[in-house]
Structure 1
Amino acid sequence: MARIKGKDTLPERQVAALLSPHGLSWESHAADLPGRPDLVFRDAKVVVFVDGDFWHGWRFPQWRDKLSVEWEAKIKRNRERDVRNQRKLRRMGWKVVRLWEHQICDNPDSAKRRVLVALGLEPLMELLT
């Protein structure tokens, strides 16, 4: 597990590449915010988490029984921590965008639009079409 990167992952770099042409600037992994969000847009009070499907437990109840007790506990703790951090951020007045690894790979334009909508740079109706 020591070799698993927590920063500058491929999905994070993909999101950055999607947002860069829009002239946006952000802070990465802000230590002063709960959960150290992957992308922080302070002026807009928007944070983006780029979550790996395995590590953050996408559809965890469907596959948790295939894991050892230790791995199941690890993923469960990750998910609980994610919920706590998201609640803290919202209480602090931040908008939270959570992008899953598979969403970025399967539909990068949709992932990009979700961030732009949260930043108020694209109308919500665009997201629905």
Structure 2
Amino acid sequence: MFVNLLRFRFKDGVSDEEQAEVLAAMRRTASLESSAFGVVGADLGDPAEGFTHAYLSAIPDLEAFRRYTWDPVHLAGDELILGKLAKMSAVRFADDDPAISQAMYAEVAAKQEKFPAWSQEVARLFGE
């Protein structure tokens, strides 16, 4: 099982309607058949950390992760979501073979290569 937890904050000026649209897109992605379960909602952590919302998806195995990464719903969500966010952080972990992370990050590297604008936007959100 691979778990991806993203904490984020919207950019100033993103309307309530736009926020609802982003959260709906995240819920669609978290509900993909490749995800064992997912949750999207208010971040209940320390407000001083600057995050207002969180996204969590649990992916059962590497094959499901590949489907999740390349699913058209996920890709369309990325286009809608990323430009509306100001900041994001991630906690990622797996309970399986530690080598699985190498394969998963190789899949992410392939996505970065195919979609360089996506890669740049993600780097911006993580402050890289």
Fold conserved between structures, TM > 0.5: no
Q: Which has the higher strand share?
A: 2
So what's the TM-score if we normalise by structure 1? Answer: 0.33
Compare CA radii of gyration and give the structure with the larger one: 1
So what's the TM-score if we normalise by structure 2? Answer: 0.33
